[in-house]
Amino acid sequence: MRRSTSRVLRGLALLSTLALGATACGSSDDSSDTKAVSAGDIQSALKKGGSITVWAWEPTLKSVAADFEKKYPKVKINLVSERSGDKHYTALSNAISAGKGVPDVAQVEYFALGQYSLTKGLTDLAPYGAEKLASKFTPGPWNAVSEGDKVYGLPMDSGPMALFYNKKVFDKYKIAVPTTWDEYLDAARKLHKADPKAYIANDLGDAGFTTSMLWQAGSRPYKVDGTKVAINFDDAGAKKFETVWQKLIDEKLLAPVSGWTDDWYKGLGDGTIATLATGAWMPANFETGVPNAKGDWRAAAMPAWTKGDKASAENGGSSLALPALGKNKELSYAFVEYANAGDGVATRVSEGAFPATVAELQDTAFKNKEFPYFGGQKANEIFAESAANVADDWSYLPFQPYANSIFNDTVGKAYVSSTKLADGLKAWQEASVKYGEEQGFTIEK
Amino acid sequence: MSTSVTASPAKSTAPKLRTPRKKHTPGKPKRNVLLTVLMGLMVLYTVVPLIWLVINSTKTQTGLAESNGLWFAHDFALWDNVRDTFTYHDGIFGRWLLNTLLYVVLGAGGATLLAVLGGYALAKFDFPGKRAVFAVVIGAVAVPGTALAVPTFLMFSKMGLTDTPWAVIIPSLVSPFGLYLMWVFAAEAIPTELLEAARMDGASEVRTFFRVALPLLAPGIVTVLLFTTVATWNNYFLPLIMLKDPDWYPLTLGLSAWSSQAQTIGGDVIFNLVITGSLLTILPLIAAFLFLQKYWQSGLAAGSVKE
């Protein structure tokens, strides 16, 4: 595992010129970070008070911030929630590279954490006592926020995958809910034959979905060890996914609709998109985005790649992290711990968030919660089961946001032209390798 | 085709620029079927999105998904939508509306003021380098503001002005087109003899400007004000790259942020409020156009005819 120091330094020097260009200022040095912050330090910071700026779009944080301010009257939380996704990361990266206007706490999705942690953009939370919280969280999310003995964020929510299906449509055409991906393919054929306007799912190429599917299929395309990275889509798991999905594409069984558009919400509502394999956070989006299909949908376990296999994967989910250039670190950490591992979790779960904490997932009240949207189904049982079956050895690239941004130029072609999915993945691999090398990563061939 | 379009203004005998609207329309031109059809299509093209907007602002999120886009849903929720638009997220929409007004009053108002002063000076005073100024202004008209946004951002970033209202207001103060329009307008609308007469009577330059020139420039001022107001009101790209703090967003950015909530895990999907907010956003502009229509038209025609 020993690498030559000069190589690492060269890699880091190049890395700091990355798009997000972490300004390597003294305070983010390893040495100064390792001094432990005692619980007493945090308590006195809370007593002293002050204000912190939080950039997070997670809607349930609003109540959490209000509760926190009530509990610690001297603390003021300035929650900035109008930005999300790409815009959020652009703003965060810009602020970090400018060294100005950096928030004290930022929401960072799991797939993007590596990009910030590797360039020293985030504070290691272990000295604040975060590593003692490891057992509180489910393995998937914890694996995503921690790297060796360093902890770069506390998991806020998780997205163990489930198959959401429109029961009304399945009942109408007497199609059984698929338990394997082969059955899923059959169901897709049956449905589209019965109603040419209806599709089993929508897909025009989605990086997040594809990587989660590979994760579930047992493929591990990315291996990351510091600045040493390996990218390889040529394994048995990827083959399984390619085979089934290529058939769905070739037989035109996927609705040509992009996720998260108004067309997509419409399709979920009117039965033309019959299933959706995605993270357990989806119910909240169903309720506000597809209110007209209330009662039509149900949740089920993800179809398996081989019958009886229970392997699941994560899709989406995010953490709260402390940017290295933020101020008021003790206060910020206290808020993050309160929101993600303390009393805030219950508040957030009651407002529809899907937790990443073991206690909440195993809570009987949580499991027995009936979802009126899903016709009274106790959907959390399925989600919790899925969370327990997530393989925790998956890792994303340290430049995953960039890789995802070129997904449609490579793999995306398979959805709209005669390019095969396997060739698309190969092209994605090559483009990712090329970018990684340009950024100073050591890419293992 | 060309005869029927250009004939009328030349024939007009009334004093130009103040011409009442009716005299602008040709008396009874020969009907041209092709033109009429093209015009009809154009009207359809511009009006259908407006109709769509009005119809869909009456729907709830459910209604939007279930009904045809060009007809009403079974529920009528316009007033609820308007109320929700103003109360959502502690009434941030109202804040964005005030921000937009601030940018328009200071940005567009300031741009108009500068254009009037500059245009008058360029039209009525002779000074060395006037031709160079002319060349620069004409060149600047050809450069779209969007192309300058990024260099401006880098400059403002060094000055520490980004993420403040000034980052939006200061670039809005520059309107080469407005300056050019005022220049041409002032040259035509203010007889030099009138200025000379005022000076003979002993009026100072300042007094001459305010008491003699300004009233004559009124239609042009309104035109430039409308131009700059529309440009500032609809500005999206400049604030997008300049502003990080949502508290300083104008309506355009705010609505875009609301719309992208639908693409967010756990995000609240509020297409109905985005649509209603868009309708509310264009209402002030429509009102401004209706009230100031005649100035707008006469101003547009300024300088188009030499007599």
Domain residue ranges of chain B, discontinuous segments joined by +: 1-26, 31-76, 91-301
Kindly indicate the confidence band of residue A4, based on its pLDDT and cuts at 50, 70 and 90. Answer: very low
Residue with tokens 């303390």: A342
A341-to-A72, A134, A293, A355, A416 alpha-carbon distances in Å: 17, 10, 34, 10, 44
* Residue scoring higher pLDDT (B191 or A36): B191
Query: For the residues A269-289, what does the mean pLDDT come to?
Result: 91
Q: What is the third-level CATH fold of A161-313+376-444?
A: D-Maltodextrin-Binding Protein; domain 2 (3.40.190)
Is some CB atom of chain A closer than 8 A to the CB atom of B241?
Answer: no
Does A91 contact B264 at a Cβ distance shorter than 8 Å?
no
Give the C-alpha separation, A66 to A72, whole Å.
10
pLDDT of A262 strictly over 90: no
In whole numbers, what is the pLDDT of chain A averaged over residues?
88
Determine, for residues A84 and B249 on separate chains, whether the beta-carbon distance falls below 8 Å: no
With a cut of 80, say whether residue A227 has pLDDT above it. yes
Q: What is the pLDDT of residues B204-241, one digit of tens each?
A: 989 999 988 998 898 889 889 988 999 999 999 899 88
Q: Find which of B265, B268, B273 to mutate to test the A interface (most A CBs within 10 Å of its CB).
A: B265
Model confidence at A313, pLDDT cuts 50, 70, 90, reads very high
Distance from the Cα of B306 to chain A's closest Cα (Å) equals: 51
pLDDT (tens digit per residue) in A394-423: 989 989 988 998 999 999 999 998 899 999
Q: How far apart are alpha carbons B221 and B116 in whole angstroms?
A: 7
pLDDT reading at A312 higher than 60: yes
Lowest-pLDDT choice from A37-46, A301-310, A412-421, B11-20: B11-20
Coil, strand or helix at A38: coil
Residues 6 or more apart whose CB falls under 8 angstroms from that of A14 comprise A439, A440
Residue A274 has pLDDT above 90, yes or no: yes
- Interface contact A292-B62, CB threshold 8 A: yes
Highest mean pLDDT, choosing among A133-147, A230-244, A346-360: A230-244
CA nearest to A258 within chain B = B263
pLDDT of residue A223: 92
pLDDT at A50 > cutoff 50: yes
Looking at the partner chain, which of B65, B257, B267 has a beta carbon nearest the beta carbon of A269? Answer: B65
Give the pLDDT confidence score for residue A23 in this predicted structure. Answer: 36
Superfamily of chain region B91-301: MetI-like (1.10.3720.10)
Show the tokens assigned to B97.
């509306």
B155 min Cα distance to partner chain A (Å): 13
Write down the pLDDT at residue A1: 34
Residue A106 is which amino acid? A
Contacts of B245 in chain A (CB under 8 A): 80
> Are B267 and A59 an interchain contact pair (Cβ–Cβ within 8 Å)?
yes
- B271 and chain A: CB distance < 8 Å anywhere? yes
pLDDT for B25: 56
Q: Which helix (H) or strand (E) holds A414?
A: helix A413-416
Min mean pLDDT across A121-135, A278-292, B75-89, B143-157 is at B143-157
Q: What is the DSSP letter of A305?
A: S
Identify the pLDDT of residue B28: 65
User: Which pLDDT does position B298 carry in this prediction?
Assistant: 63
Question: Which CATH entry fits the domain spanning A5-158+317-362: 3.30.70.1560, 3.40.50.970, 1.10.8.10, 3.40.190.10?
Answer: 3.40.190.10
Tokens of A12: 């880091």
Least confident of A21-30, A79-88, A343-352, A355-364: A21-30
What would the pLDDT profile of A197-218 be if each residue is shown by its tens digit? 999 999 999 999 999 999 999 9
Chain B residues near residue A292 by CB distance under 8 angstroms: 62, 65-66
Q: Is B68 part of the contact surface with chain A (CB cutoff 8 Å)? A: no
pLDDT band at B299 (very low <50, low <70, confident <90, very high): low
Least confident of A47-56, A377-386, B259-268: B259-268
Q: Do A292 and B163 touch (CB under 8 A)?
A: no
Output the pLDDT for position B27. Answer: 61
Q: Which residue intervals of B59-204 are DSSP H helices?
A: 61-66, 78-102, 109-124, 130-142, 145-159, 166-172, 176-189, 192-200
Q: Is residue A22 scored above 80 in pLDDT?
A: no
Place A93 in a pLDDT band, splitting at 50, 70 and 90: confident
Distance CA B195, CA A312 (A): 84
Average pLDDT over residues A251-278: 93
Q: Closest by alpha carbon to B115, among B190, B234, B226?
A: B226
Q: Which of A82, A98, A285 sits opposite B257 (nearest CB)?
A: A82
- pLDDT of B8 > 50? The answer is no
Q: Most B CBs within 10 Å: which of A82, A263, A294, as the mutation test of the B interface?
A: A82
Q: Give the model's pLDDT for residue A119.
A: 83
The chain A residues in contact with chain B (CB within 8 A) are 57-60, 80-85, 87, 91, 94-95, 98, 101, 157, 159, 260, 262, 265-266, 269-270, 279, 281, 284-285, 288-292, 316-318, 352-353
Inform me whether the pLDDT recorded for B281 exceeds 90: yes
Q: Do B266 and A279 touch (CB under 8 A)?
A: no
Q: Which of A167-171, B28-32, B171-175, B237-241 has the lowest mean pLDDT?
A: B28-32
Q: Suggest the residue from A268, A288, A351 to mutate for an interface test with chain B (most B CBs closer than 10 A).
A: A288
The whole-angstrom separation of Cα A172 and Cα A188 is 14
Query: Measured between CB atoms, which of A82, A94, A285 is closest to B249?
Result: A82
**B3 has pLDDT over 80:** no
A12-26, A311-325, B12-26, B98-112 — which is least confidently predicted?
A: A12-26
Contacts of B261 in chain A (CB under 8 A): 57, 84
Q: What is the pLDDT of residue A9?
A: 39
Residue A401's nearest CA partner among A153, A87, A159, A83 is: A87
Q: Is the pLDDT of residue A322 over 90?
A: yes
Average pLDDT over residues A331-355: 92
- Over chain B, what is the mean pLDDT? 84
- Between A235 and A83, the more confident residue is A235
Q: What residues does CATH 3.40.190.10 cover in chain A? A: 5-158+317-362, 161-313+376-444
